[in-house]
Amino acid sequence: RRGSTSSPIVSPNVRSLHRSASFGTRSAADPSSGVLESALAAALTVRARAESAAKRLALAEKELEAHRKGALDEKVHVRLREATKRADRAERAAKDAKEEVDKLVEEQVHLVRVQAIQDRAVAEEMIEKLRDEASVVCNSLGSALKKAGEKDKPIALFRRALQHRAARRDTNPLELAPVLINLGAALMQTGAPSEA
């Protein structure tokens, strides 16, 4: 059997010859004793060869098992290396995706800020125009009411026109002159020359 170190199977005749030769049951003068001794020597040689072969077989089986285990370990290491490489690639891909997302977010935030600045500038410009228009309307309406004989309402309208005109960021003092003249005339008409 594989891996066994037991003696090989020897026929009963060889065993009988071995016992006879061992215990000296046959005479040395027996002509068949030389044949028996030769057969016994051959049997012992075969037995020794069988035992040696059995030892070599056992050693070969151990080496084969070790080789199989080593090959299995190598496969495991190969799979681990491949898994590590895949994990590294996935990590790099995730890092690249994060950097791309961060870049896109930064660009969008910048665009939103630029748009907000532009919208604010447009809104402020519209407010300036509305203030100019409100100032002109109040001044014109005050002048019309003054000509119609009103006294208090024109003064309130002229003062409101001054407020709208003065609220501008780049107000030119000369632009206030027409409204100030109308306000002074209205105050003179109401009998308040000192305030005028």
Note the pLDDT tens digit of each residue in 44-80: 888 999 899 889 998 888 888 887 887 778 888 888 8
pLDDT value of residue 31 = 57
Cα(163)–Cα(183) distance, integer angstroms: 12
Per-residue pLDDT tens over the stretch 110-123: 999 999 999 988 99
pLDDT value of residue 143 = 92
Q: Which residues of the chain have pLDDT under 50?
A: 1-8, 10, 13-14, 17-18, 20-28
pLDDT value of residue 156 = 92
Yes or no: say if 18 and 40 are a contact pair by the CB < 8 Å rule.
yes
pLDDT value of residue 194 = 60
pLDDT value of residue 190 = 79
pLDDT value of residue 176 = 83
pLDDT value of residue 2 = 45
Q: Residue 78, Cα to own-chain centre: how many angstroms?
A: 25
pLDDT value of residue 113 = 92
Cα(126)–Cα(120) distance, integer angstroms: 10
Task: Give helix 33-147 / helix 152-166 axis angle, nearest 10°.
Answer: 150
pLDDT value of residue 124 = 85
Cα(196)–Cα(186) distance, integer angstroms: 8
pLDDT value of residue 157 = 93
DSSP state of 30: -
Cα(137)–Cα(118) distance, integer angstroms: 28
